[in-house]
Amino acid sequence: MSNDMPALTDQEVLRHAQDLLEEHLPLHAEGYKCTTDDLFKVLLGVATTKGTLEAVCADLVGTPDPHPIRG
């Protein structure tokens, strides 16, 4: 019996999760340090790792410091 279901990559799962969040969670940031995309990536990072904002910002390349995210 073959499995014809395509496998999702980590990046595809992240993109689908972020798309759903963007539809239902009205976050917006267009600053010079923090964008809306940054907010959602950090939010998903904290939720999936059960980590802290500081830890997720340190691990994600190109993510602003936690202070602008909080603002």
In a structure prediction context, what are the per-residue pLDDT tens digits for the chain, which is 71 residues long? 567 777 888 889 889 999 999 999 988 888 778 888 889 999 999 998 898 999 999 998 888 899 888 88
Whether 50 is in a domain gets the answer yes
Residue 7 lies in a domain: no
pTM higher than 0.75, yes or no?
Answer: yes
Residue 58's domain comprises 41-71
Query: What is the rounded radius of gyration, in angstroms, for the C-alpha atoms of the chain?
Result: 14
Q: Which of 9, 67, 60 is nearest to 33 (CA)?
A: 67
Domain count, the chain: 1
Neighbours of 58 (CB within 10 A): 13
**11 part of a folded domain:** no
Beta bridge partners of 35: 30
A 10 A CB-CB count for 65 gives 13
Q: Would residue 67 count as lying in a domain?
A: yes
